Amino acid sequence: MLWPRPAWGVATDDTTSRGASLFANHCAACHVNGGNIIRRSRTLKLKALEGRGLASPEAIAAVAANGLGQMGGYAEVLGPGGPEAVGAWVWQQAQNAWIQG
């Protein structure tokens, strides 16, 4: 199934579900509950994201796709629309202080 690219700032149920799944499969090993087991200061918590100028789903998607610093890019692994889905989901989690329901 091809996943549509979400409109920025709009998280559909499909986008949210796909973003959560992709994050669990490809990101959560290093970013457990929005943390970072490699570099503790490079978390996905809202304050840390904002402090690094990553205060939007687009900015997070760009990092997911292309990497930043020690983290390599995952564009190919995440597939078409994957970085955007992960970016939207991570931004949503950061807004909710990573409280999983």
pLDDT in tens, the chain (101 residues): 344 444 444 455 677 899 999 999 999 999 999 999 999 989 999 999 999 999 999 999 999 999 999 999 999 999 999 999 999 999 999 999 998 64
pTM across the whole model = 0.84
At 93 the three-state DSSP class reads helix
Q: Which of 35, 38, 52, 41 is nearest to 94 (CA)?
A: 35
Cα separation, 18 vs 82, in Å, equals 8
Length of the chain: 101
Domain 13-95 has CATH 1.10.760.10: yes
